Amino acid sequence: MPPQLQSQNQSGPRVLQGDLSALSPAVREFVEANVSLCQPDFLHICDGSDEENRSILTQLEEQGMIKKLPKYENCWLARTDPRDVARVESKTVIVTRDQRDTVPTPLEGGVSQLGRWMSPEEFDKAMTQRFPGCMKGHTMYVIPFSMGPVGSPLSKIGVELTDSPYVVASMRVMTRMGKAVLSALGTGEFVRCLHSVGCPLPLKKPLVNSWPCNPEQTLIAQIPDSRQIISFGSGYGGNSLLGKKCFALRIASRIAKEEGWLAEHMLILGITSPAGEKKYMAAAFPSACGKTNLAMLCPTLPGWKVECVGDDIAWMKFDDQGNLRAINPENGFFGVAPGTSAKTNPNAMATIIKNTIFTNVAETSDGGVYWEGMDESLPEGVTITSWKNKPWSSEDGEPCAHPNSRFCTPADQCPIIDPLWESPEGVPIEAIIFGGRRPEGVPLVYEAFSWQHGVFVGAAMRSEATAAAEHRGKVIMHDPFAMRPFFGYNFGQYLSHWLSMADRPGAKLPKIFHVNWFRKSASAGFLWPGFGDNIRVLDWMFRRVNGEAGAMPSAVGYLPCSNSLNLQCLKGDVDLDELFSLDQEFWQKEVDEVRKYFTTQVNDDLPSEVARQLELLQQRVKQM
């Protein structure tokens, strides 16, 4: 590890809140080592109280980092430096001794698209260049947090050290944080998280939008062997709220592999039929495929009810009865704002009108928020200020809100939050859904033939990249399990781990499905109305799980029999033949693309069962 520098302040930082000596020896040692490295002037041990939260928000307001939105109750707007607006995949690394523990070796020395590896030596060097003295003049906040309900057997604890009060306010929304967590931790294991925006005082250059960051030096490192996350230079959510993707997916997926469970980029929803029977389903979609919208669905079929357990991450583990039990490890929603409206997601709109931190959305002159796709007309005379803090009009030719602008809002405010969303034992998952944005060729829904075929379907997931990603144009990208940026270890081993679930004695394996809400016709746009009408697809899955709905085998999986999708009261005509048509030429190309991806990217680490499933698909396509 890099050298520990002596603080100029020989007596150490002034403790503003909390008692260092009351911390467990391991937590205290973690704090003291990093105080000596980062040299903060002050130390604040977070207790998670309302009073602390009010004081943090006031401080952020005084520093100009956030401003109050008087139209709503306790809502705030942050505008970031325009260079710090999203997760930075190119600067996000996994540190392991052996590169192959992190990523498969691509064919002929190509570049891996399944993660970025950094050697421990290179990481130590990077750390030494960045962290010594990085918190001078600032407060180091100690945030004890629980991923999952405090005390649940499925939950895990972390401690994040940060110099960003914005992170403190956001982590209080996104995780269970404070005193109760330290009590639950006792002397147990925890994930060590260190974060700095990298702007020690005196500043070398003025801040943009009062937003501290150091984009030239940004680095987000996960060190699975020692359960550490170290992030520098970015204040943006996914890079700085270390409980989120860094812990809940990258580190947790590695812990899950070792302990025999799954940490996945999946929403969890509860669905109740008109007869009163309830099931839980989990679903993995890449970004901009309507994940939050599905998690908070308003059904158009009478008598059905959908409730939300989580919109982003699922931790799933088989219990002693063989049920796959899932918890949402988060405590809030960190949702993409643009496209969220009373039409697309009324439940999200109802969730975010209080206690919410908005980042990089536009602001209205009457103290509200605005973004593309909100579809609300503004009262006369109300003007818009863009995320860049400039007057904005629709003629400007650029969006008023950043495409990756966010709301950070408490989950328990969601009008349809599931009654069991904080159940310590988790909810039983009976169906797993994969999906992507596929304008052509891929039917509305199909069911995998088996668990092994379902794992192949997840591995072969592809989706049209959207404007929010760094990729130009409408490219179909591989995004296996919607986890491509989030794998904490070698993807080939990850596939083997998923396959191994079928070998568990007594495991009740969920059915696996694939959906595509986004198929288009050559002339008339989307073939399926989507949104609330997606309940019709969930209804078919529900009945399939119960062995009630008809299905017919096809080259890709089981398709609904004619008349087995409930289309009652559906507005407008839907061309089911086109929606479910399978074109041999299209699927031959799909097989070729997937084979090329597996060969070049997963290479020698591809499990033989996944290769076999690809060959079976090839044979079925030939016979079409």
C-alpha span between 559 and 191 (Å, rounded) = 44
Is the alpha carbon torsion for 48, 51, 57, 59 positive or negative? negative
In which element (H, E) is residue 384 found?
Answer: strand 384-385
The runs of H, that is alpha helices, within 303-398 are 346-351
C-alpha span between 184 and 128 (Å, rounded) = 34
Q: Which amino acid is at 281?
A: M
SS3 of 504, please?
coil
C-alpha span between 233 and 84 (Å, rounded) = 9
Query: Any residues with CB less than 8 A from the CB of 205 and at least 6 apart, and which?
Result: none
Is 38 an annotated catalytic residue? no
Tell me, rounded to whole angstroms, the distance of Cα 605 from its chain centroid: 26
- Phi, psi dihedrals of residue 269, rounded to the nearest 5°: -130, 150
Report cis status (omega within 30 of 0) of the bond before 212: no
Is the alpha carbon torsion for 196, 201, 206, 208 positive or negative? positive
Distances (CA, A) of 531 to 116, 273, 290: 35, 18, 8
Q: Which of 408, 347, 396 is nearest to 372 (CA)?
A: 396
Candidates 289, 298, 408, 414; catalytic one = 289
C-alpha span between 141 and 167 (Å, rounded) = 9
DSSP count for the chain of H helices, then E strands: 16, 34
**Six token digits for residue 470:** 């760094």
- Phi, psi dihedrals of residue 25, rounded to the nearest 5°: -55, -40
Q: What ranges make up the beta strands (E) of 79-237? A: 92-95, 117-118, 139-147, 156-162, 176-177, 191-196, 219-223, 228-232
Catalytic residues: 289
